[in-house]
Chains A and B, each alone.
Chain A
Amino acid sequence: MASGNNSRAVAPTLVLDFFRRILPFSELSAATLADLAKQCVIAHYPKGSIILRQDLTEVTHLHIIQKGGVKEYIASDDTMVSLKDFSGEGGSFGALPIFSGKRADFNVEAVEDTFCFLIKKEAFLEVVRNNPRFGKYYLEAFSEDTVGAVYSELREATVRSRGEDAFYLFNLRVRDVINTLPETVSGRETVQQVGLRMAHLRVDWLLVKDETGSVVGTVADRDLRTKVVAEGLDYDTPVVEIMTPSFRTIPAQATCFDALLRMMREQVDHLVVEHRKAIVGVISAHDIIVYQGAAFLYPIRDIESQRRISGLYAVSQRLPMVVRTLLTEGARANNVTKVITLFNDNLLSRLLRLLTDEIGPAPVSFCWLNLGSEGRKEQTFKTDQDNALVYEDPQNGIDPYDVEEYFRTFADKAVEHLQACGYPRCKQKFMASNPRWRQSYSVWKGYFEEWLLHPIPPEVGLARIFFDLRPCHGNAALGESLREYITVHARGNDRFLRYLAGDCLLASPPLSFMGDFIVEKDGKKSEGLDLKVRGLSPFVNFARVMALRYGISETETLARLKGLTEDGHLSQALYADAREAYEFQVQLTLVHQLKMLEAGLDPDCFIRPVVLSDLERKTLKETFAVIDRLLEQVQETFGLSSNALS
């Protein structure tokens, strides 16, 4: 009776402080929070008590756990219990039945002595109505807001000293940077006229048009120096004779980041910007770097300018700095791994060219293959070397012994230099320095034939990484041809694919988090999680076996998933979730490894929940659920029984 008009009531700071710390409450206005806190009641549930009963309890309150923990499970008629979730401090339950207006969807049982803050259904729904973002937290796995928040949180975790200075590299489009139409010259103009024109316009680069007005090539400062001056060519020579008859284009809606990467990959300074087949401008690396302050990508360019292999050792040390900047600037995982791959590929390619200069040209053409994560372009930080070498079968009197000797020296030295650059040797010896993985094309074909026709479980498991091979240097056709062989022959090979699929099912993800522990599906707890084994590998393995099954030749996990979706083998919804989940895990791994590297430790993938925020835990938990859905699809596709799961 006395409650209503009590002038001596104070704001419940206990509840307020708690709400301010947990999502999604922390997003609410101070007034809304104060109002909610005032209406809140606190209930106690001794360990073992059932708080909500599936199909029986009318859910009248949202429960937020202040202390203790609960498990959510479904009990079916035959007393089979299937565990759905664990929640600890800051977790909540009851939201979904409140939204749906139905009775409890799960049994909720206290697994510890538990205290909960209870918010009345009506009050909760009102907050949801007035704050749509708030409701999304409960309704959508990977809602845009949650994902955005978790990424900005990860970014903050990477570097706290920097403020929120705007950086647009990943958002800004090429069309936003170009501001002038490209200058053109006619192909009939003389090199002298062109030189004058360039001096007048103060540009070092012009487009060359033919009589019909269409662009046929480019002429740059460099062309004048190397082709005219150095060769003593007549200044009356028409420019069409010395121009570079090709040019690289980029769509106007591409991001500046993609443009930069393109330039670095193609080793050009300019790209022609196209919009609906029309040329609308040119963009140079300089434009972007001036505009963006993207100078942190310079180490990638520095690789090319090294004249000695030992110079590469030092350049390779700068990768963590590049990655740190990317993460700080808000790059998503796929952009970061793109840069890491580009960096590593350029380094490898430069190293092998310098090595060829040193020991002389190869007697037959060869292709350097990257395997595993390097093959999939999914490197995080310096992972072990996984590489191999394939060479053309020696013919026409070339002594096979000489060929073997040459590549032995070549591969041994390459692997050694790579190690000096910070790429540790592979413990299982998947390296070109291992004679078994340095063979002629016909021997390699034999390997794949053997794996495909006689899949023996441990061998198939080992051989997995060869199915992700990617030609990285040398005669790419040799590598491509092996890829093609795999794509064509794996497709109909059910026996092989079932082995590979069975392999996928060996690792099932944990269920959830409780407190600072990981909770397994059987309720067991552990202190940490190997994100590579339990998180990333299931996505990679899923994408691989499905891609092989449906003849998709891509090696990148995301590209494989995309291909599967486009061909109708994966639902749009599952694809979207899988992409988010996978990217989030990569991002988490990158941030974790960067921190280790900067602390002077060898990077690993072992994540302890104690360092994760509520939001990271929630998101990671959702990624586990996505993995379960992927594994179910593997079971269905390959007709494997569910007991392979346990």
Chain B
Amino acid sequence: MKRLWKWLRPDKHPAIERNRRRFAEFDRDRPIENCEFVSLDTELTGFNHRKEEIVSIGAVRIRDLQIVIGDNFFSYVRPTKSIPKDSTLVHRITTSQIKTAPPLQEVLPEFVDFCGDALLVGHYIALDMAFVNKACRNILGARMENPCFDSMRLAYAYQEVQRRSYYDAIETRMSYNLTELSKRYRLPLFAKHDALEDALQAAYLFLFLVKRLQAAGCVTLRDLDTVGSGSPF
């Protein structure tokens, strides 16, 4: 059955072709501050992994390690199935907002182009990218090639730096949830469960962590990738 789907996969969309060309040759030894990032978040229909669909995408650009707040991306997405009531509550998205929203077929290519050659940032970004790339394969014919950085993993790395330099007691029960981390680091707090606000929250967290990891000797993207690939202890 799976093989059959492969045959049915559409031709590569021009947006995803551009995306693949951008990352064909990618220099991981660039200094972090010279890179462009896009912090993103997606909201999903519900918690049932198989049937979940994206209902909104929010993203904001980070250039010169500064958040370019006007350069953002936000859209609701009209799901193919009707959304269950419980998730409506979580996202504060009303049915009418969803009904008038464009379909993913329209939003996704624009999103891929918005990301351009930026590196992607998100809190537990693997989950967001799993859904984005699933949709990309189905709709655009291939996945996005942008390298990703997980602010959650960078937070592990930062805590590890802290532990090593200050011999702090290990906080094994520390929460790495986006809101809890933001509170812990005293960042400005944003509304939860809004894709753009969560993307902003992750962007603030990313700036906070990168500045500190830079101070701890993390200079290039490769360095960041290395520290960010660790797991908590």
A interface vs B, CB < 8 Å?
Answer: 1-3, 6-10, 12, 14-15, 37-46, 49, 66-67, 113, 115, 118
Contacts and interface: CB of A to CB of B under 8 A. Distances in A.
Contacts of B64: 41
Interface string B35-74: 0000000000000000000000000010111111111111
A12 B69 contact: yes
Given A44-B204, A46-B211, A2 B69 contact: no
B114 interface: yes
Main secondary structure of the interface of B (DSSP, over half): mixed
B65 A43 contact: yes
Given A3-B61, A43-B66, A9 B208 contact: no
B176 interface: no
Contacts of B61: 3
B129 interface: no
Interface of B: 61, 63-75, 107, 110-111, 113-117, 185-188, 190, 196, 200, 204, 207-208, 211-212, 215
Contacts of A40: 69-70
Contact of B74 (A1, A9, A45, A118): A9
Contact of B69 (A8, A42, A45, A67): A42
Nearest to A46: B211
The residue in A2, A6, A14 that gathers the most chain B C-beta atoms within 10 A of its C-beta is A2
CB-based closest 5 A-B pairs: A38-B70, A42-B67, A44-B207, A12-B69, A41-B66
Nearest to A115: B188
B69 A41 contact: yes
A45 B70 CA distance: 20
Contact of A2 (B65, B115, B212): B115
Given A8-B73, A42-B67, A113 B110 contact: no
Given A8-B75, A9-B73, A113-B208, 18 more contacts: A2-B114, A2-B116, A3-B61, A6-B114, A7-B110, A8-B111, A10-B72, A10-B196, A39-B70, A41-B66, A43-B65, A44-B65, A44-B204, A46-B208, A46-B211, A66-B188, A67-B186, A115-B187
Nearest to A41: B66
Contacts of B107: 8
Contacts of B110: 6-8
Tell me which of B70, B190, B212 has the highest count of chain A C-beta atoms within 10 A of its own C-beta.
Answer: B70
A68 to B, nearest CB: 8
A402 B115 CA distance: 100
Contacts of B211: 44-46, 49
Nearest to B214: A46
B88 to A, nearest CB: 21
Contacts of B204: 42, 44, 115
A7 B204 CA distance: 24
Contacts of A43: 65-67, 207
A67 B69 CA distance: 16
B128 to A, nearest CB: 17
A115 B74 CA distance: 23
A621 B69 CA distance: 32
A229 to B, nearest CB: 82
A15 B60 CA distance: 14
Nearest to A15: B69
Nearest to A42: B67
Nearest to B57: A8
